Structure formats: structure tokens, C-alpha cells
Structure 1
Amino acid sequence: MTTPELLGFQITHRAMRGETRRLAVLATELAEGRQTADVARAAAVGAYVTRLCAGIHHHHVSEDEVLWPVIERSAGAEVDLRDLSDDHSELDPLLAEVVGQAATFASTVSTGDASRLAALLTRLADMLDEHIEEEERLLFPIIMKYVSVADWEKVEKAVRKGGDIRTELPRIEEYARPEELVRLRRMAGPVLTVLLSLLRGGHRRRRRMIYGPLADG
């Protein structure tokens, strides 16, 4: 390989955007009475939202602390990261609001708290859509042109470190297209297949609790 492999980042971005939007829709339907939640389901939703927000926070902190210095060192004047860094600064207080409201909904199971959670998740989904589209448009060509494979592998290792493998790895499988999954398995080797087989069942049970019996459909 002579250029960085960006597939892992692409799928991670797609999964973060997709799950945030899906949770926003779910919270809206709970608020409007089109779906219902008992205490167990509300707790599962709250815990999953919290884990998702932790993953988003870890991802952008890894970009700030590891990826940005690599890009600045490799590309120099070719890139200006200030707007993307400002986006990250705006994300943190919103993530904290989402987590707090998810905990409130989990404890009250009220339609009012579901409505407030839906509004916050929709704001977060909109922000992620705009930010990630801009980040990939601006930075992916720069990374491909200037960043070495060795430096990129250090970035990916930093992003993986501290992540929640129980939810993030099966979620990558869910959001990867079939041909992308073939590439991932080829890059990671047999260990990926083993890990997915161990984690898939628990992931699907959690998703059925959160999204309902058709979550795997």
C-alpha cells in the first residue's frame, strides 16, 4: 500500500451520522406516541445514546490531538484546520446536553423528555452531517496526497484505542457495504471475523431492545 487506506474512517463517519439520525427519528416517534417505551427500553435507549456520544467525542478528540498535527506537519500551508477545530469545540457542549437529556428520559420515560431528546439529537445529526461532509471533502484529498501510510496507521491506532469495541465494531459491520466488508476482512485478517462472531449477538439484542423487533430488517 502506497497511500493511506481511508475506508475505516469513512465507515466510522457513516455509522456516527446514521445512528445519530436514527436515534433522533426514534425519539421523535416516542415523543409523538407513534412508538412506546417501558422502563427497560428507555434505559437501553439512554445507555446507547450515551455510548454513541462517547464514541463521537473520542473520535474528534483523536482527530484534534493526533490527526491534525500529522496533517499540519505533512501538508503545511496546504490546509487550514481552524473551522473544523471550531466545529469540534461546538460539538462538546451539545454532546453533553444530549447525554444529560438521554439520562433524564431514561429516568422519566415521559413524552416531554423524549421530545427534548429528539430536538437535541436532531441538532447533533445536522451538525455531524455538515461537519463530516466538509471534513471529508477538504481533508481526504490532503491525506491521500501528503500523509504517509506509517503516519496514517498511527492515527488509526489512536482512534481505535479507547473505543467501545462492543458497539463500534458490530456497527461498522452494519454500515459497511458488502464490498467494503470484504476489504475490511482482507485488511484485518481472521481476527475480524472472530470478533464479529463474538460480538454480533449482543449487538443485535441491544438494537432490538432500542429500535424494536424489526431492527435487523
Structure 2
Amino acid sequence: MTPDLLGLTIAHRAMRGDARRMAVLATELAASGRRVGPARATAISEDVAKLCKSIHHHHTTEDQVLWPVIERSAGAEVDLRDLSDDHSALDPLLAEISGHAARFAATRDAADLAAALTRLADLLDEHIAEEERLIFPVITRYVSAADWKTVEDAARRGSDIRFDLPRVERYARPEELARLHKAAGPVLTLLLALVRPGYRRRQRLIFGSAA
């Protein structure tokens, strides 16, 4: 049985999409000089911090679980050093962004946050495109379904379901979401019904009514 990479694909899409959306928002706020109310500033700060935590969890799972699985399964077929170097570069950037987000909540000055988020969005675009080009064919060809389940189980552990699950619904295409519902059954429908309202309220507060 071939590993199903749909979950990883959507996770990558969500990271790239949210990093870019936040970078654009922060850039617009910095350029306009418009004062942001305290509730919105806090929501932006908290969401950026959650995004950074989610990205850190994702790449740590790759380093600690996925990479060893690939190395055992594919051996010399793939060189993961450049991808690992990218992950090492991510951690200080994520820490920097989290610091800027906390300061933004206090000062409402988005300039530093905007610059750092833009760097993150650019790095993720480049890194994820290269990662998918390099390792997706290797996973499909060499990794067993049992090993892939181990990777997916590790990715779920430590995930913030209230933050991550509604982002799956946001970034999955209709046919992909249908596949997820078919695989997970009514549990996914119930969980989404529980987390969707809070997610949508937060998105409206952060991005406006069109979010």
C-alpha cells in the first residue's frame, strides 16, 4: 500500500498560506500606520505565536521521525542535509517572530513583525517546494504504509487541534476534504463543528469580515 501524502500536502499548503497571509497583513498595517485596537492586536499576536509553534512542531517531527524513516527505507537515494539545514535556520527565525509578535501586542508597531514574517513566508515557499520535489517521490516509492502511519501519528501528537484542524478545512480543496471525511468518518465532522466557530471568529477579528 502506497503512503497517502494528502495530510502532509495540506499541512504544507496551510503553513505557506498562513505565513504569507500574516506577512501581507503585517506589511499593510506597518505601511498604513493605522492604529490597531487591543483585541485585534492580541489576536494577531496570539495567532502568529500559534503559527510559529505549529511550524516548529512540523519540522521537528520531520527531523526526528520522518527523516530516519526515509534514511532507513531509501538509504543513499536521497540527501536530506540541505533540508535539515533549512530547519535549523527556521528555529531562530521563529523565535524572532514570536518576540516581534509579543511586542506588537504591546506597541502596535508592525514593522519588525512584517519584515520577519515576509522572510518566513519566502523561506517556506522555497523550502517546501524543494522538499516536496525531493522527498515525495522517495516516500511514495520506498516508505511502507506502516512506517508512514508512524510519521502521521507523531505529527498528530503535540498538534493544537483548535488551531490546526480548521486550517486543514480552509486549505483543503473540496475533493481533498471529501477524501478526508471519507477516511475519518463522522469524528472529523464532529471535531470541525466544535472548532470551526472559534476559528472563524478569530479570523474575522484578525483579517476582517472577508477572511
Report the TM-score, using the length of structure 1 for normalisation: 0.96
Match of residue 172, structure 2, among 162, 169, 176: 176
In structure 2, the residue corresponding to 1:32 is in which secondary structure? helix
* Structure 1 partner of 2:195: 199
Shift of 1:35: 5.4
Shift of 1:102: 0.5
Q: Deviations 1:156-183 (Å, cap 9, x if unpaired)?
A: 0001100110010000000000000000
Matches within 5 A, 1:58-69: 58-69=57-68
Q: Deviations 1:99-146 (Å, cap 9, x if unpaired)?
A: 000000011113xxx011100000000000000000000000000000
* Structure 2 partner of 1:136: 132
**Distance in 2 between the 1:196 and 1:35 partners?**
34
Deviating above 3 A after TM superposition, structure 1's stretches of 4 or more consecutive aligned residues are none
Question: RMSD of the TM alignment (CA)?
Answer: 0.9
Matches within 5 A, 1:58-207: 58-110=57-109, 114-207=110-203
Amino acid at match of 1:54: K
**Distance in 1 between the 2:48 and 2:55 partners?**
11
Are 1:29 and 2:28 counterparts?
Answer: yes
Q: Which runs of 5+ in 2 are unaligned?
A: none
Amino acid at match of 1:103: A
Q: Which runs of 5+ in 1 are unaligned?
A: none
**Distance in 2 between the 1:20 and 1:34 partners?**
21
Report the TM-score, using the length of structure 2 for normalisation: 0.98
- Is 1:29–1:35's contact at 8 Å kept on the other side of the alignment? no
**Distance in 2 between the 1:18 and 1:58 partners?**
17
When residues 164 and 214 of structure 1 are mapped into structure 2, their CA distance, relative to the original with a 3 A threshold, is same
Amino acid at match of 2:162: R
Amino acid at match of 2:70: I
